[in-house]
Structure 1
Amino acid sequence: MRDVSHLPPALRGLRLPLLGAPMFIVSGPELVIAQCKAGIVGSFPALNAREGKGEPAQLDKWLTRITEELDRHNQANPDHPAAPFAVNQIVHRSNGRLERDLEICARHKVPIWITSLGARAEVNEAAHGCGGIVLHDVINNTFARKAIEKGADGLIAVAAGAGGHAGKQSPFALVEEIRDWFDGPLILSGAIATGRALLAARVAGADLGYTGSPFIATDEANAPARYKEMIVTGSAEDIVTSSLFTGVSGNYLRESIKAAGLDPDNLSTGQAATMNFGSGSSKAWTDIWGAGQGIGVVKAISRAADLIARIEEEYRAAARKIASEFIR
């Protein structure tokens, strides 16, 4: 049996040691609910929940819907309860909604908080105050130490090959450096699109994997049809790394860059000072679509539950194969 005693209760009892990564625009209630019902942690960015001026907070509505639907599922399936869900908070100073969104998440007692683009002690305190845990995105060991010092409960190591704001370091190097001093919850992100990759993440020292891009090509994803098509037909060679679009290095689909009238091989460099997550900012690059290098294994659009079942089958088959090599 797998030893999960060092993990907080929210990360135990999952069907697979896997979190569905929160994705800009793509992740919403439909995808989160499907992921949780299928036994893995589902998540979405708080900023995806947008309302018109003067309208009630969409985030409040989303959390009510997710909580109520998962509660109904658990009552009907006591032997197979849903996994918990997570909300991603962008803690960058330009996010003018942060304080409001923290209050809403605390009121709904969100069980898992994923924080990105800055580690802030007051955000961790808000999560802990409602019984939640905090997992913080990091791209190197220095940021990992800072996050734990400021009260994060666990780390998401975002390595090379991940979609969106990805790091540059090898997953093996990044995990080893963090595990040298940290024995708490560690999740690995970076082209984890198959059960074999998930098993490799576990063997490397991570407790769980972090998968985003394959879920773009699911029925429940809030992604345009062309976006999903690019995931199905693309490969690692179709991923372009650039800081132009947000000011921070990230991975994007080559064809979406071309469709915007840009040359993906000759992009200018963005500056971190231009990063803006304010509600009033103009999202000039909403049609530049993020993705990770693991998309080459995605061959068709499917239900989220079927994708999770495929990953589980591959994960267990790979584990059996490796285990057989050590049986004498």
Structure 2
Amino acid sequence: MSLPKIIKDNITIPVIGSPLFIISNPKLVVEQCKAGIVGSFPALNARPAEKLDEWLTTIKQELAAYKEQNPDAKVAPFAVNQIVHPSNDRLEHDMAACVKHKVPIIITSLHAPTEVVKAAHSYGGLVFHDVTNVKHAKKALSVGVDGLILVAAGAGGHAGTTNPFALLTEIRQFYDGTIILAGSITRGNHVLSAEVMGADLAYMGTRFIATHEANADEAYKQMVVDSTASDVIYSNLFTGVHGNYLRGSIENVGLDPDNLVESDKSKMKVGSKGSAKGKAWKDVWGAGQGVGNITAISSTADVVSQLRDEYAEARNKLSTAR
């Protein structure tokens, strides 16, 4: 297993807060990093495109100020998610901003990120790529990514359908680099379980929707708290790529969650062609199957503190059991 020094030396628990479309903003990212987990956001959340430079400046300044005031604190690096897709006409602009600010970690999604890897490596940045199967993992590794994010069954957003045990085990047969595991991870003992399975980090998104800092509608946050795994619907209708969504939000826009039509990848539009106001992104709410473990809306700091306590308790139980 492998964990880059910039992450290993600056985290309090091996977790990356995954980038949440619309929801992740500088406030959430800063609080995640201050708590000792990698915080991230999609570049496309900064609208218009010129705002990305402002967001990156704000995040860097606030984290630097916090570190100066708390020199002994572990302040995690942050990451920016780039969608590598033909419809993302912002990619070149957004990567130029990331290069300018030397963003520590770039998280890429969809297509193999050949040019993104070159740009990030030009200043020493890391690139972690989302994959849902072995084929995509091998393709990403062939262009030089620094790690793989295994988006297994049950994860929020554009999740795969492969069981995490199967996906992780198969990829570990040919790759010994950094692996981040996603899929219904909501508690500290889940994080430890991911490590025991062979992952280096856990990837958690849904757990941070129900936080005060998240840029989500309060009704969305409450629906996360009130929902269980049976309320998560897997569909490609809304973006052209299969993802997990909350049943209640689908019903609220007048659709029957049990009778959704099929779509296709050609319907996916990101960059300036995508809309943060459209129903596909704003009114239909994504979440992973781990929602049943989220019982309250709280601060990001409190969520991470609870994760650390659960993680420590799980480690202690394992050690004493021996």
SS at match of 2:103: coil
Whole-angstrom CA distance in 2 between matches of 1:280 and 1:269: 21
Indicate which of 244, 247, 267 corresponds to 1:251: 244
CA contact (8 A) 1:89 1:116 kept: yes
Whole-angstrom CA distance in 2 between matches of 1:95 and 1:301: 33
Whole-angstrom CA distance in 1 between matches of 2:78 and 2:304: 16
Matched, 1:86 2:79: yes
Q: Deviations over 1:288-318 (max 9, x none)?
A: 1100011111111000010001111111111
Q: Which moved more, 1:282-291 or 1:261-270?
A: 282-291
Matched, 1:38 2:31: no
Q: Deviations over 1:139-180 (max 9, x none)?
A: 011111110101101000000000010010000000001110
Whole-angstrom CA distance in 2 between matches of 1:23 and 1:224: 13
1:274 is displaced (CA, Å) by 1.3
Using the aligned pairs only, state the percent identity.
54
Mapping of residues 33-182 of structure 1, within 5 Å: 33-51=30-48, 57-182=50-175
**Which runs of at least 4 in structure 1 moved beyond 6 Å after TM superposition?**
none
Mapping of residues 194-205 of structure 1, within 5 Å: 194-205=187-198
SS at match of 1:90: strand
CA contact (8 A) 1:73 1:81 kept: no
Q: Give the root-mean-square deviation of aligned CA atoms.
A: 1.1
Match of 1:302 in 2: 298
Whole-angstrom CA distance in 2 between matches of 1:112 and 1:19: 11
Whole-angstrom CA distance in 1 between matches of 2:34 and 2:47: 24
Aligned residues: 318
Whole-angstrom CA distance in 1 between matches of 2:46 and 2:13: 27
CA contact (8 A) 2:44 2:271 kept: no
1:30 is displaced (CA, Å) by 0.5
Whole-angstrom CA distance in 2 between matches of 1:48 and 1:154: 23
Match of 2:21 in 1: 24
Matched, 1:224 2:220: no
1:214 is displaced (CA, Å) by 1.2
Whole-angstrom CA distance in 1 between matches of 2:31 and 2:64: 13
Whole-angstrom CA distance in 2 between matches of 1:44 and 1:72: 20
1:10 is displaced (CA, Å) by 2.2
Whole-angstrom CA distance in 1 between matches of 2:313 and 2:74: 24
CA contact (8 A) 1:60 1:104 kept: yes
Whole-angstrom CA distance in 1 between matches of 2:97 and 2:24: 18
Relative contact order: is structure 1 or structure 2 higher (C-alpha 8 Å, sep ≥ 6)?
2
Q: Deviations over 1:247-302 (max 9, x none)?
A: 11100000000001000000001111111113134534121110001111111100
Whole-angstrom CA distance in 2 between matches of 1:227 and 1:284: 14
Which structure 1 residue ranges, 5 or more long, are not aligned?
none
Q: Deviations over 1:90-135 (max 9, x none)?
A: 0111100000000000000000000001112111010111210000
SS at match of 1:115: strand
